[in-house]
Structure 1
Amino acid sequence: MVHWLSTRLSRTFSSFRNVLIISTIIRVALILYSEWHDAHSTVKYTDVDYRVFSDATRFILHPTPQNTANGLVGKWLGIGDPYTRATYRYTPLLALLLAPNEWIHPSFGKYLFAGCDIIAGIIMYNLLVYIILPSIHLSSSVSQNISNEVKSQEDTDAEKGSAITRKATYLVSLHLLNPMVFSISTRGSSESVLSLFVLATLYCALKSNWTLAAILLGLSTHWKIYPFIYGIACLGVIGNERGIGKGLKGRLNALVNARTIKFALISAGTFGLLNVLMYAIWGYPFLYESYLYHIHRRDHRHNFSPYFYLIYLTYPFPGDSTPQLEVWQQIVRSPLTSFIPQMALSLGAGILFGWKKKDLPFTWFIQTFAFVIFNRVCTSQYFLWYTLFVPLIIPRLSMPFWKALLSVAVWFGAQGLWLSKAYRLEFLGENVFYGLWLRGLIYVAGHSWVLASVMDSYQG
């Protein structure tokens, strides 16, 4: 019985078509369940952000004298302002994307986000089958000098193709069947849309379609600012396609030439054009809520980042009689305190590793992991930004089983340790800020160790 069950499971999950069907069923079932759960429980399954998105859509589609777009074009069009909804701090494109929430069904957006999950899985599968895994199989075949005169070349190619598709299916399953991934999208988080844009950008880059990659990178950066860090690695790869000269001068010539300048201009132009269009329609509220707010944001609410506690201690709460902050308090509260090390590590990793096309998934993973660890604000959703690349880099990792198991344990354990203390603060109202801050430091140390382990295990 056990053998039969294991055989059936192996056959089921070795077929990418079956994985897609199972992934789709899980997501549809959870969305249907969410409607029942939200109607019968005070603790909602649906993420509060989804209600924010939906309200912003409603404000755009139903303008009033108190709710009109602030831009010249927006006033002429006579549409509403999504930023009338407090805490909506995203591109208006997201609110427009969810317009069918008003026209078709309130859960349309959840199905859209779940669909982006599935499409991202398909792109990931194609990356593995047609680009990543064949290059690894080819190099290993050459290095091992295997002679197979007994079998025909056709049989050998068929076996290799079958092995590649099976391996790709197992790897993509790590993403599509990841509870964190499908729960976040079915709860109504829009992270899957950005994941789709980023994977599409990577696919175009690995296919050397740099014009489309530049456009998609500009779109991704407009959607959420952090993908701009991938640009430096793209410039290195573009420059390296025609060779890198010796020394620092050679590296600089590879980064700055006609082809890299073209890529940068197209990407920045796409980003700028979208922003000009959004500003023309929605005016300063778009600029402030989408970008400026995040520059001077001082989030003292607890999150995985240990910065929150230092900001909390220096936060000017109502009734604070302190007229002037001390110098150390200004340094602690300054966004530069976290921004400088964060950018140095993220962009530095792009310059260090981003020279070969085959290393792009690994480079983007390292850049994003470092960005998230040292961000001033970090929630569980941010982890999806870099775990997205895990199925793509596993084939090039050479890590002992015990170390892989330990890395996973440390990654989850640091989060669990933090969450156990955060629960006491959030739900029990206990004053555990200091203990939570210490666990935030453990989170940084633990995840940094995991990052170092992956870097040490990568076989480029």
Structure 2
Amino acid sequence: MNDHRFQRAFPSSPSILSVSVVLRVALILYSEWHDAHSVVKYTDVDYRVFSDATWFTLHPGPGNRAKGPLAKWINVGDPYTRETYRYTPLLALLLAPNEWVHPSFGKYLFAGCDILAGILMHRLLVSVILPRVPPPSRAKPAGPSPPGSSPSQGATNAISRSRQATVLASVHLLSPFVFSISTRGSSESVLTLFVLLTLSCALRQRWTAAAVLLGISTHWKIYPVIYGVSCVAVLRTEPQLRRPSARPHSAVASARQYVETCVNKQTIKFACISAATFLALGAAMYSVWGFPFLHETYLYHLHRLDHRHNFSPYFYLIYLTYPGVSLPGTPLPRWHALVRSPLTSFLPQMALALGTGVVFAGTRDDLVFAWFVQTATFVIFNKVCTSQYFLWYLLFIPLLVPRLDISWRRALAFFGCWMGAQALWLSQAYQLEFLGEPVFFRLWVCGLVYVTGHSLVLGGIIKAYRRRS
């Protein structure tokens, strides 16, 4: 990103935004034509689920009414009448214009969230991240500006940062992975916008707003709760919160001192506001839609047994122990219970996701890096993983690149490893899904390759990260 000639030749930010908007609108219009003329649809099946849930919500009737305590006073339907809808009712309400305006409204909304995320990335890079990037380890520390330096040097640096931010933001805005997911009707872009807004407030020390947004993000989808740990770790290091203390003489004393610094007015306030926001939204949804909301949105994911193939290698073990797969009358070994237990995957996954948040969130400047590592470990070791989940951590790449001390050759090698592991898995998934060949074991081996390859890439990025001294 230090090639100034490349940055000067790169299109301007308004041009990138214009191309991004036109591209997404064109793909949405194409999706309508394609779906009308092809058996294989461009639109994601999840979008049909969202749209159906919206219809059920807006058209209550016999067997389709909300089941919460307040439902008898509110004439509203139950989005969970639509099987496989496992999201907050807010999503179904958000897509109400699908019924009132146009069936593709949701796609335009999701694409718009993509654009807003790109704009927010650009602003964060220009105003917060790039001005605080440490020099490369090979570079000599920059000394004070000489008395005769040009007064326009600051303006020149600002222009350079803006150009660099445009290049980095375009990684998100022009990524086929990003715009294809939103234009196909996936709602991930709404959550990523919430997460980015939370990060923006945290980086700008607007901790109350960050706590509220974290509660909203966690309500929308539960995994952002892991970011609370790194936020607390950063809050304990804020200058106004530091307290002089004696150097600990043992590991136990060090751990006690760490816990004591984590418990202060700011961290307690942040945790309470975030939890209160999450609980208030949950209580509001429960009061209208009752237990189906709790079960489908949260509880279902704790005991979920997904034996369908996905990137996670856990799928094969679940498939072998899934009810109905084993021969009738065959006694089930005890290890089946262990394999099917949610704790088998949940404990190591959460230990890594939370532990990396504590370890890597040294200061506010490290928050982007900590969230990236937390999210990547959460996705890699999740018991269910599809391509959409990759968007959760790829979101942070444009913001993280300025802090990576890495050559283009090594970056391409990492990208090749990341893509190669997926391509290998997809080659076997195609044989299973489209050709009907029994390649479950080979697909499981490819899942192990996926975990190994993506873990190696994550390790390389961790090694390349430069902290601010």
Task: Say yes or no: TM over 0.5.
Answer: yes
Contact 2:7 2:167 in 1 (8 A): no
1:111 corresponds in structure 2 to 108
Structure 1 residue 393 corresponds to structure 2 residue 400: yes
If asked which structure has higher relative contact order (CA below 8 Å, sep 6+), I would say 2
Question: Secondary structure, in 3 states, of the residue corresponding to 2:307?
Answer: coil
Question: Secondary structure, in 3 states, of the residue corresponding to 1:45?
Answer: coil
Return the structure number with greater helix share.
1
1:161 corresponds in structure 2 to 158
1:203 corresponds in structure 2 to 200
Q: Distance in 2 between matches of 1:423 and 1:148?
A: 63
The Cα shift of 1:326 comes to 2.0
Q: Compared with structure 1, are the counterparts of its residues 319 and 384 closer, same or farther at alpha carbon in structure 2 (3 Å cutoff)?
A: closer
Contact 2:134 2:403 in 1 (8 A): no
Question: Secondary structure, in 3 states, of the residue corresponding to 1:188?
Answer: coil
Contact 1:236 1:254 in 2 (8 A): no
Q: Compared with structure 1, are the counterparts of its residues 324 and 228 closer, same or farther at alpha carbon in structure 2 (3 Å cutoff)?
A: farther
Q: Distance in 1 between matches of 2:331 and 2:387?
A: 35
**Aligned partner letter, 1:169:** T
Matches within 5 A, 1:52-451: 52-136=49-133, 143-145=141-143, 147-153=145-151, 155-241=152-238, 242-243=241-242, 245=245, 246=247, 247-317=254-324, 321-322=328-329, 325-451=332-458
Unaligned runs of 5+ in 2: 248-253
Question: Secondary structure, in 3 states, of the residue corresponding to 1:144?
Answer: coil
**Aligned partner letter, 2:242:** G
Percent identity among equivalent residues? 61
Q: Distance in 1 between matches of 2:329 and 2:311?
A: 28
Worse-superposed segment, 91-100 or 319-328: 319-328
Contact 2:201 2:209 in 1 (8 A): yes
Q: What is the Cα-based RMSD across aligned positions, in Å?
A: 1.8
**Aligned partner letter, 1:440:** G
1:185-206 CA distance string (max 9 Å, x none) = 0000000000000000000000
* Alignment TM-score, normalising by the size of structure 1: 0.95
The Cα shift of 1:13 comes to 3.7
Question: Secondary structure, in 3 states, of the residue corresponding to 1:143?
Answer: coil
Q: Distance in 1 between matches of 2:144 and 2:26?
A: 48
Query: Which consecutive segments of 4 or more residues in structure 1 shift more than 4 A?
Result: 9-12, 137-142, 146-150
Question: Secondary structure, in 3 states, of the residue corresponding to 2:141?
Answer: helix
2:25 corresponds in structure 1 to 28
Q: Distance in 1 between matches of 2:54 and 2:259?
A: 46
**Aligned partner letter, 1:211:** T
The Cα shift of 1:139 comes to 9.9
- How many residues align? The count is 452
Q: Distance in 2 between matches of 1:446 and 1:108?
A: 38
Unaligned runs of 5+ in 1: 1-6
**Aligned partner letter, 1:39:** A
The Cα shift of 1:402 comes to 2.3
The Cα shift of 1:149 comes to 4.7
Question: Secondary structure, in 3 states, of the residue corresponding to 1:117?
Answer: helix
The Cα shift of 1:253 comes to 2.0
Worse-superposed segment, 251-260 or 81-90: 251-260
Contact 1:422 1:436 in 2 (8 A): yes
Question: Secondary structure, in 3 states, of the residue corresponding to 2:382?
Answer: coil
1:205-247 CA distance string (max 9 Å, x none) = 0011111100000000000000000000000111111226553
Q: Distance in 2 between matches of 1:325 and 1:97?
A: 45
1:3 corresponds in structure 2 to none
1:222-277 CA distance string (max 9 Å, x none) = 00000000000000111111226553333212211121011101001110011111
1:4 corresponds in structure 2 to none
- Which of 34, 37, 42 aligns to 1:37? It is 34
The Cα shift of 1:408 comes to 0.5
Q: Distance in 2 between matches of 1:59 and 1:371?
A: 33
Q: Distance in 2 between matches of 1:72 and 1:442?
A: 49
Contact 2:235 2:266 in 1 (8 A): yes
